């Protein structure tokens, strides 16, 4: 298993899990591992500091301390210029299911490692009563 995907305890909502299973394909072993190993909870039971689909997070990059705010998106909604990162990207997979305070690590397209601390979950749909987002 790659360090970029499942590192430590991860939690997913049952709805996110079901939707992501439809995205599964042979080239996404990290997604398959995450879906197989994460704890799956009902949307109403997911803690508000867990990164879910369509959650917005504040990252503190470990390689210089810069901060970045991104939203985890389904591939069709991804738009890097707008801060929407695909869940199928290395960063998206590294963040999904993690809690605020966790260190996420991923392999970049340049074949180097990136890492950031999840400083905060700025917005989580489930925490705002949107359990069908």
Phi and psi at residue 124, to the nearest 5°: -135, 120
Question: What's the rounded Cα separation, in Å, for the pair 68 and 61?
Answer: 8
Q: What is the model's pLDDT at position 32?
A: 86
What distance in Å separates the CA atoms of residue 84 and residue 47, rounded to the nearest whole number? 22
Buried b (16+ CB within 10 A) or exposed e, 58-74: bbbeeeeeeeeebbbbb
Q: Is the pLDDT of residue 111 over 50?
A: yes
Phi, psi at 78, each rounded to 5°: -65, 140
pTM, whole model, 2 decimals? 0.88
Domain parsing of the chain, residue ranges: 11-125
Evaluate if residue 1 carries a pLDDT over 90. Answer: no
Say yes or no to pLDDT of 23 above 70: yes
The CATH number of the structural domain formed by 11-125 is: 3.10.50.30
For 38-88, what is each residue's pLDDT tens digit?
Answer: 999 999 999 999 999 999 999 999 988 899 999 999 999 999 999 999 999
Over range 105-132, report the average pLDDT: 90
């Amino acid at each position: 298993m790659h360090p970029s995907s499942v590192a430590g305890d991860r939690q997913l909502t049952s709805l996110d899990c079901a939707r992501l299973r439809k995205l599964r394909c042979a080239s996404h072993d990290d997604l398959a591992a995450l879906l197989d190993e994460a704890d799956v909870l009902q949307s109403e039971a997911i803690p508000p500091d867990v990164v879910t689909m369509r959650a917005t997070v504040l990252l503190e990059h470990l390689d210089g301390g810069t901060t970045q705010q991104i939203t985890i998106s389904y591939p069709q909604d991804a738009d890097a210029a707008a801060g929407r990162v695909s869940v199928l990207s290395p960063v998206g997979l590294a963040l999904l299911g993690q809690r605020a305070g966790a260190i996420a690590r991923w392999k970049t397209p340049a074949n180097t490692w990136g890492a950031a601390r999840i400083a905060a979950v700025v917005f989580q749909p489930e925490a705002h009563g949107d359990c069908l987002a």
